[in-house]
């Protein structure tokens, strides 16, 4: 279907010259194989890092691969395509049947998760440019108190919930919008985003990988998958002698103490606490769902249609005197205000439902976190927590057995361990 | 230890199954053929955000010219400032802030207007002039050799006319022509 457009001015009729009308140039789209190259590099890097981390036990190799990832996935690919953002494409595709996902996005979304099920978070170790960049700036690690670490880690779960809410309702991809490091990889971006990225890196000099631990929504999924991984980072290549040399080596608070020497807590107190938390869990979920439902209307404002409908209402009731570009364009167009309002109403309802689920999700996460903290697990050895370990390989060289394996001089054990 | 291994194996299996089913559900909608962002020039209101909102330092959006729509006017409202001092190529008379729109004499009374693409910043000043008072042959397009094909296009988000959408990579341009496709 096409309709002729009457020009205001007639086309030229060249009589003196035989001028031929040029046509606009159309520089092409980069070839598709270019994208499959990225997938190949991703898989190759994941395999290589798994081998380096679990078999070779080489920190230098992990760092070198990390630098490659920063250069390739960061500066060369300009931070896009990335696994963190792919969550949103997948969520939107699940809710909206007309939304197609490119195969490459699926590869980037699922391959690191499948690797995490078998080898742990090798993606975080050195394949994700965000993680690798933060790992490089970590110069003076300080220990984050356990209570603060556990609470801040909740943020990532909330971020994941919100990102899914906005993706399934068509409100945009917030993970991409508020990505702190992509402006650095692109060497351009809004001032606030650049400042956020730089300040995260400055904080990252002291606090190990703040984005990965406290904000990354994909890290949440990787942590879940990694918690049941088949193979994992083992600090010692042999048997743990409880020498405690590795105790403070992890800048990400992932090393958990052996429970051999832990004081025994009275069982009755533990059971009572557990029972209380189990009762609290449904209450938390219900509260979360209720609060989420109330926040739905505010979240809906991020959607362009809801935003425009509210703006038009303000203008029509005379609350604001001027128009925006969007409202002026709408008024000049043919669409009726009623149909826009109807769409906005439907969207608000959709947001309320999604936000209720998100609230329930947050309640569930908080409840399960409290439960997991209340349950005492027996650990005979000092080991890296499977879901928190980012696979940086720093702890290896703290283990005297590892040094022995490598034929390096073993330092004298600390005074406390001698007794 | 055995029980723990059994549990983690079982959980791993069920997580794999869960991942597989999500993958299966999405794969039905997967596209091998990629899509790219493009501006529908008929919806564009030449607001100028393309020049500033693109994540690239120099926007991927440039002005293009559908010559078959152009009237080859001597007084081009896309080229000249409103009420120009003289109808010549002096910078003070030009609308384009970078001098990217270039004018050349063909024959009396026709002039051709071409875009020097490296200079164009996609500010849409010429597009606005041409669309409001002329034939509307100047329009904006996302240049696919420059576009990063971001997951979420920053100018699509900022566009007040909702004129930017994903289109098939097989037809990555939507040039204006005398026949408006509907």
419 residues of chain A, pLDDT tens digit each: 567 777 889 888 888 888 899 999 999 888 878 888 999 999 999 999 999 999 999 999 999 999 999 999 999 998 888 999 999 999 998 888 778 788 889 999 999 999 999 999 999 999 999 999 999 999 999 999 999 999 999 999 999 999 999 999 988 899 999 999 999 998 888 888 899 999 999 999 999 999 999 999 999 999 999 999 999 899 988 888 888 888 889 999 999 888 877 777 777 888 888 999 999 999 999 999 999 999 999 999 999 999 999 999 999 998 999 999 999 999 998 899 999 999 999 999 999 999 999 999 999 999 999 998 888 788 888 889 999 999 999 999 999 999 999 998 887 765 554 44
Tokens 């869990």 -> residue: A281
Name the domain count of chain B: 1
* pLDDT value of position A418: 45
* A111 and A216 part of one domain: yes
Phi, psi angle pair for A367, to nearest 5°: -60, -45
Token pair belonging to A318: 């005379």
- What is the C-alpha to C-alpha distance for residues A181 and A74, in angstroms, rounded to an integer? 9
Task: Note whether A223 and A241 are same-domain residues.
Answer: yes
Domain-located, residue B104: yes
| Spatial CA neighbour of B130 closest among B105, B174, B84, B95 | B95
Q: Is residue A26 part of a domain?
A: no
Q: Are A14 and B107 an interchain contact pair (Cβ–Cβ within 8 Å)?
A: yes
Residues A366, A388, single domain; the answer is no
Whether residue A260 is contained in a domain is answered as no
| Residue A20 belongs to some domain of the structure | no
Band of residue B33 on the pLDDT scale cut at 50, 70, 90: low
Where in the sequence is the domain holding A324, given as residue range(s)?
A: 268-374
Is B20 domain-assigned? no
Please give the interface size between A and B, counted as residue pairs whose CB atoms are below 8 Å apart. Answer: 186
Q: Which residue has the tokens 């920053």?
A: B154
Nearest to B22 among A89, A90, A118 (CB): A90
A86 neighbourhood in chain B, CB within 8 Å: 151
CA distance A139 to chain B (A): 31
B40 touches chain A (CB under 8 A): no
Pick B68's closest partner by Cβ from A21, A101, A328: A21
B57 inside domain: yes
Q: Residues A84, A193: one domain?
A: yes
The pair of structure tokens assigned to B19 is 């991942």
- A116, part of any domain: yes
> Is A103 among the domain residues?
yes
Q: Judge whether residue B174 has pLDDT over 90.
A: yes
Integer Cα distance of B108 and A288 in angstroms: 74
> Does residue A131 sit within a domain?
yes
When pLDDT is averaged across residues B13-41 and rounded to a whole number, the result is 86
Concatenated DSSP letters for A1-66?
-EEE---SSPPP--SSS-PPPP----PPPPPTHHHHHHHHHHHHHHHHHHIIIIII--HHHHHHHH
Residue B116 falls within a domain, yes or no? yes
Q: Do residue B134 and residue A9 have CB atoms under 8 angstroms apart?
A: yes
Let me know whether A132 and A202 are in one domain. yes
Judgement on whether residues A186 and A241 belong to the same structural domain of the protein: yes
Q: Which residues of B touch A177 (CB under 8 A)?
A: 152, 157
Residue-range definition of the domain harbouring residue B103: 34-168
Helix (H, G, I), strand (E, B) or coil at A233: coil
Identify whether B41 is part of a domain: yes
Chain A residues whose beta carbon lies within 8 Å of the beta carbon of residue B124: none
Name which of A3, A176, A324 is nearest B152 (Cβ-Cβ). Answer: A176
The encoded tokens of residue A326 equal 């969007």
Mean pLDDT score of chain B, rounded to an integer?
Answer: 90
CA distance B12 to chain A (A): 6
Residue A316 structure tokens: 């029509």
Residues A206 and A124 in one domain: yes
Among A417, A331, A354, which Cα is nearest to A170's? A354
Taking only the tens place, the pLDDT of each residue in B84-102 is: 888 888 888 999 999 999 9
Q: How far apart are CA A70 and CA A76, in angstroms?
A: 8
Residue A18 maps to a domain: no
Within-domain flag for B25 = no
- Measured at the alpha carbon of residue A59, what is the angle toward residues A54 and A65, in degrees to the nearest 5? 90
**Least CB-CB distance to A23: which of B67, B110, B134?**
B67
How many domains is chain A partitioned into structurally?
2
Q: Please report the residues numbered 20 through 39 in chain B whose beta carbons come closer than 8 angstroms to any beta carbon of chain A.
A: 22-23, 25-27, 29-36
B34, pLDDT greater than 80:
no
A408 contact partners, CB below 8 Å, separation of at least 6: none
Q: Does residue A272 share a domain with residue A238?
A: no
Residues of B in contact with A387 (CB under 8 A): none
pLDDT given for residue B182 in this prediction: 60
Query: What mean pLDDT comes out for the span B148-166?
Result: 91
| DSSP label of B53 | H
Cβ-count burial A176-213 (b if 16+ within 10 Å, e if not): bbebbbbbbbbebbeeebbebbeebbeebeebbbbbbb
Give the pLDDT confidence score for residue A34 in this predicted structure.
Answer: 83
Q: What radius of gyration, in Å, describes the C-alpha atoms of chain A?
A: 27
Task: Specify if A203 maps to a domain.
Answer: yes
The verdict on residue B29 lying in a domain is: no
- Relative to beta strand B110-115, strand B101-107 is antiparallel
- B-chain residues within 8 Å CB-CB of A25? 64, 117
DSSP strands (E only) in A303-395: 383-384
**What helix, strand, coil percent values describe chain A, rounded to 5?**
60, 0, 35
């Amino acid at each position: 279907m096409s309709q002729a457009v009457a020009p205001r001015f007639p086309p030229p009729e060249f009589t003196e010259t035989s001028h031929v009308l040029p046509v606009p140039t159309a520089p092409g789209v980069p070839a598709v194989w270019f994208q499959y190259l990225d997938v190949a590099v991703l898989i190759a890097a994941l395999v290589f890092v798994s081998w380096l981390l679990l078999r070779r036990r080489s920190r230098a190799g992990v760092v070198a691969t990390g630098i490659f990832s920063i250069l390739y996935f960061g500066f060369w690919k300009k931070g896009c395509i990335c696994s963190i953002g792919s969550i949103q494409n997948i969520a939107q595709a699940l809710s909206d049947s007309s939304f197609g996902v490119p195969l490459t996005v699926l590869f980037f979304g699922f391959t690191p998760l499948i690797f995490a099920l078998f080898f742990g978070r090798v993606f975080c170790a050195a394949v994700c440019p965000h993680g690798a960049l933060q790992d490089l700036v970590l110069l003076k690690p300080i220990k984050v108190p356990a209570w603060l670490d556990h609470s801040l880690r909740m943020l990532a779960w909330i971020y994941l919930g919100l990102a899914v809410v906005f993706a399934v309702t068509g409100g945009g991809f917030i993970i991409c919008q508020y990505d702190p490091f992509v402006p650095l990889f692109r060497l351009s971006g809004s001032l606030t985003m650049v400042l956020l990225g730089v300040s995260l890196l400055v904080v990252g000099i002291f606090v190990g990988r703040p984005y990965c631990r406290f904000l990354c929504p994909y890290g949440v999924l990787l942590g879940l998958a990694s918690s049941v991984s088949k193979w994992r980072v083992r600090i010692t290549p042999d048997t743990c002698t409880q020498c405690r040399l590795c105790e403070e080596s992890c800048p990400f608070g992932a090393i958990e103490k052996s429970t051999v020497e832990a004081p025994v807590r009275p069982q009755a107190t533990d059971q009572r606490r557990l029972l209380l938390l189990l009762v609290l869990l449904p209450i938390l979920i219900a509260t979360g769902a209720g609060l989420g439902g109330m926040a739905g209307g505010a979240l809906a404002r991020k959607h362009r249609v809801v935003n425009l409908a509210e703006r038009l209402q303000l203008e029509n009731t005379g609350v604001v005197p001027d128009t925006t570009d969007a409202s002026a364009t709408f008024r000049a167009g043919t669409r009726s205000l009623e149909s826009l309002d109807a769409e906005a109403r439907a969207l608000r309802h959709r947001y309320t439902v999604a936000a209720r689920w998100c609230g329930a999700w947050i309640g569930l996460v908080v409840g399960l976190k409290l439960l997991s903290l209340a349950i005492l697990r027996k650990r005979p050895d000092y080991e890296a927590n499977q879901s928190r370990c980012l696979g940086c390989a720093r702890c290896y060289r703290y283990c005297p057995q590892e040094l022995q394996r490598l034929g390096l001089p073993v330092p004298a054990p600390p005074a406390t361990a001698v007794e | 230890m055995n029980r723990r291994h059994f549990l983690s194996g079982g959980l791993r299996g069920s997580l794999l199954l869960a991942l597989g089913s999500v993958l299966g559900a999405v794969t039905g909608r997967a596209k091998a053929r990629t899509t790219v962002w493009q501006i529908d020039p008929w919806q564009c209101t030449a607001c100028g955000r393309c020049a500033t909102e693109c994540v690239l330092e120099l926007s991927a959006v440039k002005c293009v010219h559908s010559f078959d729509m152009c009237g080859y006017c001597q007084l081009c409202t896309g080229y000249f400032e409103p009420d120009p001092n003289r109808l010549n190529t002096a910078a003070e008379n030009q609308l384009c802030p970078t001098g990217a729109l270039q004018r050349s004499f063909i024959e009396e009374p026709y002039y051709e207007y071409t875009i020097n693409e490296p200079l164009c910043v996609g500010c849409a000043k010429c597009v606005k002039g041409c669309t409001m008072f002329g034939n509307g042959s100047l329009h904006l397009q996302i240049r696919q050799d420059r576009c990063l094909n971001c997951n979420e296009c920053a100018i699509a988000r900022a566009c007040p006319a909702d004129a930017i959408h994903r289109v098939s990579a097989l037809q990555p341009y939507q040039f204006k022509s005398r026949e408006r496709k509907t």
